[in-house]
């Protein structure tokens, strides 16, 4: 009898373990579906949006080597500088809309969106001198005179694109927070195809040259933004869009503070790469160094755009669950999201190692540039892997509204650690551009470690309480 009782106990334990394993698999599967519902459209839209810049660079590279270096300089420094501010400030929209959606305050999402438009449009307008006076700015920074002069025309053409980014980025965050960003993905894909067709027509058939390539970029971005507005105005978001309202001009200061901290957080990260491009301009054979480094960074950023889908998923999942008050679900979602993103990073890491010596030919036929890109391929692969981890950690912080803490971490890791190491290795050794990039990787890895420690030590029950207080303080009744 005693042996039968022990056998029954063992059978019960085995059954309970089996049930727990099945329950865990079910939970992982359910969370994975929720992540991919946000991540896949985000990947598609971000990859195609950035892909339009890549296509433009590739087309310009086959027109003129000088114009390629000029576009690389403007795109990697000025556009990335301003775009970094926009992406950062737009992440405040993602935080506020995600938490409002989770709390069921749907009508507040449209108000937050309009407040972001006001703040971002004013900010971009204040930054326009960077485009208007790009040539003297680059000359003053010590860049090659011919390249700096060539940036003037390119910068003026890119001004409409930067203004269109204001609406494209904020609307994407707004739709993503309510799990409706698939429309953004399809519009981005259509715009990408339109851009390829217009680039081929304007540059290679009609021989419009550089204006044709940049004009195609403007038209394709306009198509995407117009489609987003049509979707919202024609009833795509009946719960969250109640039309334009004067409430958008009220309580701007709290949104400004969150937008500024968000902007600083992401700009410090995006400017980091831009500063390294600037440093490359002081290396030996600067034109080749800038072109090669820019190509590698653009490939890296293109992969980062895909991994930013996981950033969006992490942000939306954390923000939604904070709005609902589910601290336990937040912790589980973080683990699943990180594991999924790292798998993607390993895939890109392997691809880059295998095809690293062929990447340069996609952008230019200049053998010197292609050879330098090949030399940088190992560092590119390492960057690809880190790109799969860092965005998820940032997304968790954005979803929780911890941008100000991350801004401090980025400042220290990138500008106190990464850039000094890059300068030391780039100018005091024979590594040159490779040394600069090694410094960049050191800063990124340090940031990943710091963010991981911060997230592990975060009390999510406290964050739930803070989110509830914030939503209550900014709430306005729905008058419709």
**pLDDT for the residue 20:** 53
Higher pLDDT, 430 or 164: 164
Find, among 252, 273, 255, 275, the residue nearest to 263 by Cα. 255
How confident is the model over 124-133, as a mean pLDDT?
Answer: 89
**pLDDT for the residue 12:** 45
Quote the mean pLDDT of the chain: 78
Find, among 86, 83, 110, 84, the residue nearest to 96 by Cα. 110
Find, among 172, 47, 74, the residue nearest to 120 by Cα. 172
CA 475 from chain center: how many Å?
Answer: 29
pLDDT tens for 312-330 read 778 778 877 777 777 788 8
DSSP 106: T
**The two three-digit tokens of residue 346, written as one number:** 């390993």
Cα distances from 39 to residues 10, 198, 224, 311, 469, in angstroms, run 42, 29, 19, 8, 29
Count Cα neighbours of 45 within 13 Å in the Cβ-side half-sphere. 29
**pLDDT for the residue 446:** 92
Q: How far apart are CA 117 and CA 130, in angstroms?
A: 21
Other beta carbons less than 10 A from residue 367's beta carbon: 10
Q: Are 68 and 291 in contact (CB under 8 A)?
A: yes
Band (16; pLDDT cuts 50, 70, 90): very low
pLDDT tens for 242-286 read 777 777 677 666 666 766 766 666 667 666 766 766 676 666 666
Q: Are 436 and 354 in contact (CB under 8 A)?
A: no
How confident is the model over 360-387, as a mean pLDDT?
Answer: 80
Q: Are 102 and 319 in contact (CB under 8 A)?
A: yes
Band (125; pLDDT cuts 50, 70, 90): very high
Band (287; pLDDT cuts 50, 70, 90): low
Residues with Cβ within 8 Å of 119's Cβ and at least 6 positions away in sequence, in order, are 89, 252, 255, 256, 259
Give yes or no for residue 191 having a pLDDT over 50: yes
Residues with Cβ within 8 Å of 316's Cβ and at least 6 positions away in sequence, in order, are 38, 94, 98, 176, 177, 179, 399
Residues with Cβ within 8 Å of 371's Cβ and at least 6 positions away in sequence, in order, are 360
**pLDDT for the residue 3:** 53
Q: Are 281 and 73 in contact (CB under 8 A)?
A: yes
Give yes or no for residue 15 having a pLDDT over 60: no
**The two three-digit tokens of residue 401, written as one number:** 């509204």
How confident is the model over 123-127, as a mean pLDDT?
Answer: 89
**pLDDT for the residue 57:** 79
Cα distances from 138 to residues 147, 250, 268, 461, in angstroms, run 9, 39, 20, 49
Give yes or no for residue 9 having a pLDDT over 60: no
Strands (E), 189-274: none
How confident is the model over 68-93, as a mean pLDDT?
Answer: 77
SS3 track for 114-138? HHHHHHHHHHHHHCCHHHHCHHHHH
Q: Are 333 and 317 in contact (CB under 8 A)?
A: yes
pLDDT tens for 290-307 read 677 777 777 777 777 777
DSSP secondary structure string, 182-198? HHHHHHHHHHHHHHHHH
Q: Are 220 and 197 in contact (CB under 8 A)?
A: no
Band (222; pLDDT cuts 50, 70, 90): very high
How confident is the model over 13-42, as a mean pLDDT?
Answer: 70
CA gyration radius for the chain? 24
Find, among 389, 393, 422, the residue nearest to 406 by Cα. 393
Q: What distance separates the 2 farthest-apart alpha carbons in the chain?
A: 94
What is the percent of the chain with per-residue pLDDT over 70, rounded to a whole number?
A: 83
**pLDDT for the residue 58:** 79
Q: Are 212 and 203 in contact (CB under 8 A)?
A: yes
Residues with Cβ within 8 Å of 407's Cβ and at least 6 positions away in sequence, in order, are 261, 264, 265, 268
Lowest-pLDDT range, 42-46, 54-58, 359-363? Answer: 359-363
CA 478 from chain center: how many Å?
Answer: 33
Q: Are 82 and 127 in contact (CB under 8 A)?
A: yes
Band (17; pLDDT cuts 50, 70, 90): very low
What is the percent of the chain with per-residue pLDDT over 90, rounded to a whole number?
A: 5
| Residue whose pair of structure tokens reads 């034109």 in the numeric block | 287
Give yes or no for residue 13 having a pLDDT over 50: no
Give yes or no for residue 22 having a pLDDT over 60: no
pLDDT tens for 100-123 read 777 777 777 788 888 888 888 888
Q: Are 447 and 409 in contact (CB under 8 A)?
A: yes
How confident is the model over 155-159, as a mean pLDDT?
Answer: 89
**The two three-digit tokens of residue 27, written as one number:** 């939970």
DSSP 418: I
Band (180; pLDDT cuts 50, 70, 90): confident
Find, among 235, 227, 252, 262, the residue nearest to 94 by Cα. 262
**pLDDT for the residue 263:** 66
**pLDDT for the residue 219:** 92
**pLDDT for the residue 14:** 45
For the entire predicted model, the pTM comes to 0.69
Give yes or no for residue 198 having a pLDDT over 80: yes
pLDDT tens for 398-444 read 777 777 788 788 888 888 898 889 888 887 887 777 788 888 889 88
């Amino acid at each position: 009898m005693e042996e039968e009782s022990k056998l029954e106990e063992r059978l019960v334990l085995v059954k309970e373990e089996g049930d727990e394993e099945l329950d865990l698999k079910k939970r992982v599967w359910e969370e994975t579906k929720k992540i991919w519902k946000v991540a896949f459209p985000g990947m598609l839209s971000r990859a195609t949006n950035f892909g339009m810049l890549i296509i433009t660079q590739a087309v310009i590279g086959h027109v003129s080597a000088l114009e390629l270096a000029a576009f690389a300089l403007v795109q990697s420094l000025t556009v990335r500088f301003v775009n970094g501010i926009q992406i950062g400030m737009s992440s405040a929209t993602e935080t506020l809309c995600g938490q409002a959606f989770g709390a069921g305050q749907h009508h507040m999402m449209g108000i937050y969106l309009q407040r972001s438009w006001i703040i971002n449009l004013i900010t971009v307008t204040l930054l326009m001198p960077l485009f208007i006076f790009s040539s003297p700015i680059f000359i003053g920074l010590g860049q090659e005179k011919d390249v700096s002069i060539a940036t003037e025309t390119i910068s003026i053409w890119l001004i409409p694109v930067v203004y269109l980014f204001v609406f494209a980025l904020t609307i994407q965050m707004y739709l993503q927070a309510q799990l409706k960003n698939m429309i953004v993905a399809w519009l981005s894909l259509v715009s990408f195809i339109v851009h390829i067709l217009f680039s081929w027509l304007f540059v290679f058939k009609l021989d419009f040259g550089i204006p044709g390539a940049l004009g195609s970029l403007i038209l394709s971005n306009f198509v995407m933004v117009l489609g987003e507005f049509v979707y919202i105005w024609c009833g795509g978001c009946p719960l969250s869009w109640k039309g334009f309202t004067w409430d958008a001009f009220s309580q701007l200061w709290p949104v400004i503070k969150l937008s500024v901290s968000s902007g600083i957080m992401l700009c410090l990260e995006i400017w980091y790469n831009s500063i390294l491009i600037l440093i490359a301009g002081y290396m030996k054979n600067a034109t080749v160094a800038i072109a090669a480094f820019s190509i590698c960074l653009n490939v890296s950023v293109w992969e980062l755009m895909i991994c930013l889908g996981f950033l969006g998923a992490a942000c939306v999942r954390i923000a939604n669950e904070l709005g609902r008050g589910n601290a336990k679900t937040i912790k589980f979602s973080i683990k699943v999201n990180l594991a999924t993103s790292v798998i993607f990073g390993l895939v890109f890491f392997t691809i880059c190692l295998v095809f690293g010596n062929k990447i340069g030919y996609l952008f230019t036929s200049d053998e010197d540039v292609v050879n330098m890109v090949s030399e940088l391929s190992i560092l590119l692969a390492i960057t690809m892997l880190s790109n799969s981890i860092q965005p998820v950690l940032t997304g968790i912080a954005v979803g929780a509204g911890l941008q100000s803490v991350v801004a401090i971490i980025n400042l220290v890791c990138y500008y106190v650690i990464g850039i000094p190491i890059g300068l030391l290795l780039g100018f005091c050794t024979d590594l040159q551009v490779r040394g600069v990039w090694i410094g960049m990787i050191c800063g990124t890895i340090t940031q990943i470690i710091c963010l991981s420690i911060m997230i592990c030590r975060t009390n999510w029950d406290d964050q739930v309480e803070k989110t509830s207080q914030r939503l209550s303080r900014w709430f306005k009744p729905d008058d419709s």
